Structure 1
Amino acid sequence: MVFVLERIHARHPELRAEDVAHAWEHAIVSAARSDARPFEYLAVGYDARGRLIEMVGRANENGDWVIWHAFTPPTPKARRELGLE
């Protein structure tokens, strides 16, 4: 299951929880973060509207994903980290 924190919509009103969850579930690329943040995953995927969304999340103790960051379009930093340049 995917849980999207409310702070995402509060900071980015154009992104609804269902948009982010869809993009996470249909990510085109994802990877463990390459910096010093263990257990975090960076992903990029399309929502149902066709927007490309950058997301950061981590699995909780039940194996569910908690997404705490989402942004559209993906930043150059995220694209580089995922090899999408």
Structure 2
Amino acid sequence: MRVRVHPRVLRRHSDVTEPEVVAAFESTLRSRARDTDPIQWVGVGVDGRGRLLEYVAVEDEPDGWLVFYPMQATAKVLTEVGLRR
């Protein structure tokens, strides 16, 4: 599996690094597809520092993912993926 992080993300979110985003994606605890075209996946994983990060990604090639929105997990996304009531 290949995971890429959109370069804009790192300019806008100085609190996360590319390796942390990739680690969160690879350690996804829960994810779900959103009803979009192309299909976007929202998920929550653990970054290299033990924080919960949420992300939104699209599969842009066979077994290749582009993460274009990561940040510390919010209550809204934790609820959306079923990790919180």
Q: CA deviation at 1:77?
A: 1.7
Residue of structure 1 equivalent to 2:12: 11
How many Å apart are 1:3 and its aligned residue?
0.2
TM-score (norm 1): 0.88
* Root-mean-square deviation (Å): 1.2
After TM superposition, which residue ranges in structure 1, 4 or more long, deviate above 2 angstroms? none
59-68 or 41-50, larger mean C-alpha shift? 59-68
Question: Which residues of structure 2 form unaligned runs of 5+?
Answer: none
- Aligned-pair identity (%): 33
Deviation readout 1:37-78 (Å, 9 max, x if unpaired): 241101100011101100000111332000000011x12221
| Contact kept? 2:30, 2:82, Cα under 8 Å | no
The number of equivalent residue pairs is 82
Q: Per residue, is there more strand in 1 or in 2?
A: 2
Which stretch of structure 1 is more off in the superposition, 51-60 or 36-45? 36-45
Q: C-alpha displacement at 1:21, in angstroms?
A: 0.4
Q: Please, which runs of 5 or more residues in structure 1 have no aligned partner?
A: none
Show the counterpart of 1:40: 40
